[in-house]
Chain A
Amino acid sequence: MSKPSFVRRAALLFGFAFLYAPIALLALYSFNASRLVTVWGGFSTRWYVSLFENEQLIASAWMSLRVAFVSALLATVVGTCAAIALTRFGRFRGRLAFSSMIYAPLVMPEVITGLSLLLLFVALDIPRGFWTVVVAHATLGMCFVAVVVHARLITLDRSLEEAAMDLGATPGRALLSVTLPLAAPSILAGYGLAFILSIDDLVIASFTSGPGSTTLPMRIYSQVRLGVTPEINAISTILIAMVALVLVAGLALGLTGRGRRA
Chain B
Amino acid sequence: MSRAPLIVFENVTKRYGAVTAVDDVSFEIGAGEFFALLGPSGCGKTTLMRLIAGFETPDSGRILIDGQDMAHMPPHARPVNMMFQSYALFPHMNVARNIGFGLVQAGLPKVMIEARVRELLRLVQLDGLGARRPDQLSGGQRQRVALARALARKPRLVLLDEPLAALDRKLREETQFELMRLQRELGTAFMLVTHDQDEAMVMAERIGVMQAGRIVQAGSPRAIYEEPATRFVAGFIGEANFFEGVIERVEGGRCFVRLNGSGALAQALFVGAPSASVTLVVRPERMLLELMHDESAANLTGVVLDSAYRGDREVAQVRLADGSMVRVARFAAEAAMLPERGAQVRLSFAPEAAWVLPA
Contacts and interface: CB of A to CB of B under 8 A. Distances in A.
Interface of A: 157, 159-160, 162-171, 173, 177-178, 181-182, 260-262
Contact of B153 (A159, A163, A168): A168
B55 interface: yes
Contacts of A177: 101
Nearest to A168: B105
A165 B135 CA distance: 22
Given A167-B153, A168-B102, A162 B88 contact: yes
Interface stretch (B3-11, B78-86, B194-202): B78-86
A260 B136 CA distance: 11
Interface string B262-285: 000000000000000000000000
B330 interface: no
B68 to A, nearest CB: 17
Contact of A163 (B74, B77, B82, B106): B82
B184 interface: no
Using C-beta atoms within 8 Å of the partner chain, give the interface range for chain B.
20 to 34
Contacts of B58: none
B40 interface: no
Given A168-B102, A262-B135, A157 B88 contact: yes
A166 B53 contact: yes
Contacts of B76: 165-171
Given A163-B84, A168-B105, A168-B153, 17 more contacts: A159-B85, A160-B90, A162-B55, A162-B75, A163-B90, A163-B149, A166-B76, A166-B80, A166-B81, A167-B149, A168-B106, A169-B76, A171-B74, A171-B76, A182-B91, A182-B92, A261-B91
B82 A166 contact: yes
A167 B105 contact: yes
Contact of B90 (A178, A261, A262): A178
A165 B91 contact: no
Interface string B61-97: 0000000000000111100111011101011100000
Contacts of A164: 90, 101
B91 A260 contact: yes
B350 to A, nearest CB: 50
A173 B135 CA distance: 24
Contacts of A166: 53, 75-76, 80-82
21 contacts: A159-B84, A159-B85, A162-B75, A162-B84, A163-B82, A163-B90, A164-B90, A165-B55, A165-B74, A165-B75, A166-B53, A166-B80, A167-B102, A167-B105, A168-B76, A168-B105, A169-B105, A171-B76, A173-B105, A177-B101, A260-B135
Interface in B135-164: 135, 149, 152-153
A159 B74 contact: no
A211 B58 CA distance: 61
B88 A159 contact: yes
A261 B152 CA distance: 25
B137 to A, nearest CB: 14
A162 B161 CA distance: 13
Which of A165, A168, A169 counts the most B-chain CB atoms under 10 A from its CB? A168
A167 B81 contact: yes
Contacts of B101: 164, 167, 169, 177
Contacts of A178: 90
Contact of A181 (B80, B92, B135, B153): B92
Contacts of B105: 167-169, 173
Q: Which 5 A-B pairs give the minimum distances between C-beta atoms?
A: A167-B102, A168-B105, A163-B88, A159-B88, A165-B75
